[in-house]
Structure 1
Amino acid sequence: MSHTQPSLRLSAIATLLFASAALAQPEGVPGFELERLELNPDGKGSLVMGTGELLPAGGFRLSLLGHYEKDPLVLYADGNRVGALVGDRVTAHLLMAWAPLRWLELGLQVPLVVWQRGDDLSAQGLGAPAGTGLGTPSAHVRVGLASQWREAPVDLAVELGVGIPVGSEDALARDSTFRFSPKVMVGRRFGLLRAGVEAGMLVRPKVALIADENIQDEVGNEVRLGAVLATTGRGLRGELNVRGTIPLTAQPKSLELLAGLRLPVGKTVEVYALGGPGFGDTPGTPSFRVLLGVSFGSPEPLPVSERDDDGDGVKNGEDACPNEAGPARNKGCPVKDTDGDGVVDSADRCPNEPGPASSHGCPVKDSDGDGLADSVDKCPNEPGPAENNGCRVKDTDGDGIEDAQDKCPKEAGPASRQGCPVKDTDGDGVVDDRDACPTQAGLVELRGCPAKDTDGDGVPDHLDNCPTEKGVASNQGCPPQQEQLVAIQKGQLEIKQSVFFAYGKAIIQPRSFKMLDQIAKVIRQHPEIDKVVIEGHSDNIGNADANRKLSLARAQSVKDYLVKKGVEETRLDAKGYGPDRPIASNKTAKGRAANRRVAFTILTPDSGQ
């Protein structure tokens, strides 16, 4: 570009690797980031810009590349070229992308100016920039909003990128503050082609390139637009990118064309080349640039055309009916069988009437409708199974078990009892063969036997903490002077205090020993308690997996303590539920406190009956 005062023209590319940052810029040149090119770390659809497609969940990509650009910073006076402050520039780049979720992708770009040179412009009061230096590292967060893989019409994503001001000022590779680049990107695959567009902004510090009253050029905020058309597939691919800027400060517009080739090497490696010219005088737009790189990453998922969505062994690209399973000989479409008799219409003599293949798809006469043709049915007018030659199986009691296999042919009963009925003589809900007292009505938890009160204190033995000592019901059947901290309830041991543990650990505090000793005594003296499940619970605060592990460890500590106190280990089971089975609501502090406890569930042989 031409002015009465000297002016500068720039272009650059995002760079990688590591170098020490400097604090001073070249004489006569303000400090700013010369590089303009941003790359696409995930490489989906384009090497340069996003197309709305993200890496698959858990996928990653690591790229190393070298980048050469010609005349990224040129001095003009009165429309004539004075010289290039930066005529040749070589940059190395490290690109990384990772998708922890199918809709979330994280990216990082680290550039390193490896070598740059230009003309001697000391006569114009401009010092030469440093030959090497760290560029501006940048990171991005990309969120996928729609995906063709999930049957959306397009791929759509938004991104926020941040440039970190830690590069080298004397290498013209650093802005004075953070730079931001929000973007929206959308793309779609059309068979062997993929198209995408990207729109965004670059928000950066405003810097005047010629600091006098006739300032002509600046770098600052700008709108960035781009489009790409690329081929798809798993072999050699090509792409064409168009990138342009609409400045929001006193800087000219620019446009770049970048064409690229990409070649997979195995399933996880790709080599690529990219290059093309730049047009316009926006600082940071070179006359041309060339990039060569290699990437390493997780294997690419199969393209839609190579998948087999209906599982019929025919790839979607060759399947005329990709959503309906069908044989390859029929181009993946199901074979037509109008009457559904298993004989395809082309071979069915009666295509609208179901019939067996033995009759060429035509129906056979079956007077009793038992599925057996009259010609082979020994009882053609009485339905019966084929294994009985079409004759009805005799089942006198109608329980679905034929008399020949029914041990009680005149009494209906389930197959699990070989046709004999379930009996409960005393009507207490416990069947006779599991009832320890089949002629006396009793309790399920006592195996069908009636409750006893050995000490005559009005508290039945199975609920009495002191079954051989007369006590009071309010103290669980024990004398008033013997404080009871546990009560036997139907299906559970109710404890009057919490089991206290060391904070964040499974170590039982001594203040809980008295109650646990009493629990052990109660279990020992009540043999009708078949098993006690010790349940560890927690509230919903903190990491759920950590809470489950801690609750299980605490339940196991209680089990180990009770075993040491004489309870058979086979009668105890420890479970850690964490926040999965709250005892109370987690919406209040009281409820959360109630959930941080250990509970005891009683199981008897018939408790599930």
Structure 2
Amino acid sequence: MAQLPDSLPSFGLQRLQFEPSGLGSLVVGTGRTLDPGIVRVSMQAHYELLPLNFARTWDPNVNVFGLVEHKLTGHLTAAVGVLPWLQLGAQLPYIISQQGQNYRTTAPPNGQGLDAPWVSVRVAPLRMKDGAGLNLAAELAAALPVGRPEILGRETYAVNPKLQLGVMGEDYQAGLEVGALLRPRHDLSPLSGREQDVLGNELRLGATVTSRGKNKTSTRPELSVLLNMPLQGGRPSGELLVGVRKHLVGGLDLYFLGGPGLGTAIDMPSVRLLAGASFATGEAD
């Protein structure tokens, strides 16, 4: 025990990336971009249960303690259509509260403060609006090197390139996203006592099916599946997220999203819950 590290390395604990345009899913891109001049801004409260738990097994009810047990984050996201095929996006997270328990000799990263902001650029060479058979887009997102490292609010670097495909029917749309998270490798097995407790580069897959709003006050359900496959010795994980979005008047939406985390990766929360509101300056979805 005396030889165990007594502090965590600095890394970004937040793994979920939002879809700032809100076109399709709230968390999976469908290859679409906002029309030129359209701006969408959203605010959401984001709760995670056991987002950092070395003792977790396949059943999250077996072990209910961790270095981070409860985490509440506020997110401000924005996207703007620049050209018919070009969109810019940004995400600004702030850790409102983060609480956990000591694990052996390691103290939890309790506290609040700025998490790393993300910026993104998306190009869409194929659009069904222009007569193509599907929507196709490529996006590059990167984390800015700011945030509080002592509360696991930043990486030295983090880049997330992705390719998005999507199709739309009269009352539904579906999307597929293939990407990679590129970040420094952190081996936490000396702290956890388990092999493969490693954070590093990973392949990311996402799929979604959502309904399409028939009018300005319609309700839109959505189902999204996220899979994370480690490339540097970590543990695979996934999430099943179910959401509903209510269109209100004047471009205002209210929404809820939540679901369980799957697998035994140390940075996969057992449960994720999200509630928020968005406003668009024109027809967004």
| TM-score of the aligned structures, taking structure 1 as reference length | 0.43
Give CA-to-partner distance per residue, 1:136-184, whole Å, 9 cap, x none: 1110000011111111111110000111121111111111x22111000
Unaligned stretches of 5+ residues in structure 2: none
Unaligned stretches of 5+ residues in structure 1: 1-25, 304-609
User: Contact 1:196–1:228 (CA<8 Å) still a contact in 2?
Assistant: yes
- Partner residue of 1:290 out of 257, 262, 273: 273
- Partner residue of 1:56 out of 29, 35, 42: 35
Q: Please state whether the residue corresponding to 1:267 is helix, strand or coil.
A: helix
User: Contact 1:73–1:283 (CA<8 Å) still a contact in 2?
Assistant: yes
User: Contact 1:267–1:300 (CA<8 Å) still a contact in 2?
Assistant: no
Q: Please state whether the residue corresponding to 2:150 is helix, strand or coil.
A: helix
Q: Is 1:36 equivalent to 2:15 in the alignment?
A: yes
- Partner residue of 1:243 out of 209, 226, 233: 226
**Following the alignment from structure 1 to structure 2, what is the Cα–Cα distance between the partners of residues 216 and 107?**
34
Question: CA offset at residue 81 of structure 1?
Answer: 4.0
Q: Which residue of 1 aligns with 2:86?
A: 104
Q: Call closer, same or farther: CA 1:189–1:136 in 2, change over 3 Å.
A: same
Q: Which amino acid aligns with 1:257?
A: L
Give CA-to-partner distance per residue, 1:231-258, whole Å, 9 cap, x none: 0023110100000011101111011001
Q: Which residue of 2 aligns with 1:136?
A: 116
Q: Call closer, same or farther: CA 1:77–1:102 in 2, change over 3 Å.
A: closer
- Partner residue of 1:118 out of 96, 100, 122: 100
User: Contact 2:53–2:267 (CA<8 Å) still a contact in 1?
Assistant: no
**Following the alignment from structure 2 to structure 1, what is the Cα–Cα distance between the partners of residues 56 and 262?**
19
**Following the alignment from structure 1 to structure 2, what is the Cα–Cα distance between the partners of residues 76 and 61?**
40
Q: Which amino acid aligns with 2:48?
A: E
**Mapping for residues 520-599 of structure 1, pairs under 5 Å:** none
Q: Call closer, same or farther: CA 1:214–1:120 in 2, change over 3 Å.
A: closer
What RMSD over aligned residues (CA atoms) do the two structures have, in Å?
A: 2.2
Q: Which residue of 2 aligns with 1:266?
A: 249
Give CA-to-partner distance per residue, 1:32-74, whole Å, 9 cap, x none: 1111111000000110011001101111100010001111111
User: Contact 2:50–2:64 (CA<8 Å) still a contact in 1?
Assistant: no
Q: Which residue of 1 aligns with 2:67?
A: 85
Question: CA offset at residue 31 of structure 1?
Answer: 1.0
Q: Which amino acid aligns with 1:180?
A: V
**Following the alignment from structure 1 to structure 2, what is the Cα–Cα distance between the partners of residues 82 and 298?**
43
Give CA-to-partner distance per residue, 1:440-464, whole Å, 9 cap, x none: xxxxxxxxxxxxxxxxxxxxxxxxx
Q: Which residue of 2 aligns with 1:65?
A: 44
Q: Which residue of 2 aligns with 1:76?
A: 55
Q: Call closer, same or farther: CA 1:51–1:86 in 2, change over 3 Å.
A: same
Looking at secondary structure, tell me which structure has more helix per residue. 1
**Following the alignment from structure 1 to structure 2, what is the Cα–Cα distance between the partners of residues 170 and 27?**
13
Question: CA offset at residue 283 of structure 1?
Answer: 2.8
Q: Which amino acid aligns with 1:282?
A: A
Give CA-to-partner distance per residue, 1:389-434, whole Å, 9 cap, x none: xxxxxxxxxxxxxxxxxxxxxxxxxxxxxxxxxxxxxxxxxxxxxx
- Partner residue of 1:47 out of 23, 26, 33: 26
Question: CA offset at residue 77 of structure 1?
Answer: 8.9
**Following the alignment from structure 1 to structure 2, what is the Cα–Cα distance between the partners of residues 283 and 115?**
19
Question: CA offset at residue 217 of structure 1?
Answer: 1.1
Question: CA offset at residue 198 of structure 1?
Answer: 0.3
**Following the alignment from structure 1 to structure 2, what is the Cα–Cα distance between the partners of residues 127 and 263?**
42
Question: CA offset at residue 28 of structure 1?
Answer: 2.2
Q: Is 1:208 equivalent to 2:191 in the alignment?
A: no
> What percentage of residue pairs aligned between the two structures are identical?
39
Question: CA offset at residue 267 of structure 1?
Answer: 2.9
Question: CA offset at residue 299 of structure 1?
Answer: 2.0
User: Contact 1:60–1:297 (CA<8 Å) still a contact in 2?
Assistant: yes
**Following the alignment from structure 2 to structure 1, what is the Cα–Cα distance between the partners of residues 145 and 179?**
20
User: Contact 1:30–1:208 (CA<8 Å) still a contact in 2?
Assistant: no
Q: Call closer, same or farther: CA 1:77–1:254 in 2, change over 3 Å.
A: closer
**Following the alignment from structure 1 to structure 2, what is the Cα–Cα distance between the partners of residues 37 and 125?**
29
Q: Which residue of 1 aligns with 2:140?
A: 160
Give CA-to-partner distance per residue, 1:183-226, whole Å, 9 cap, x none: 00010112111000000000000111134797531100000001
**Following the alignment from structure 1 to structure 2, what is the Cα–Cα distance between the partners of residues 117 and 238?**
32
Q: Please state whether the residue corresponding to 1:34 is helix, strand or coil.
A: coil
Q: Please state whether the residue corresponding to 1:170 is helix, strand or coil.
A: helix
Q: Which residue of 2 aligns with 1:180?
A: 159
Q: Call closer, same or farther: CA 1:158–1:221 in 2, change over 3 Å.
A: same
Looking at secondary structure, tell me which structure has more strand per residue. 2
Structure number with larger C-alpha Rg = 1
User: Contact 1:34–1:283 (CA<8 Å) still a contact in 2?
Assistant: no
Q: Which amino acid aligns with 2:188?
A: L
Q: Which residue of 2 aligns with 1:127?
A: 107
User: Contact 2:201–2:230 (CA<8 Å) still a contact in 1?
Assistant: yes
Q: Call closer, same or farther: CA 1:199–1:77 in 2, change over 3 Å.
A: closer
Give CA-to-partner distance per residue, 1:97-139, whole Å, 9 cap, x none: 0111111000000111100111233xx1111213202111110
Q: Which residue of 2 aligns with 1:253?
A: 236
Question: CA offset at residue 78 of structure 1?
Answer: 10
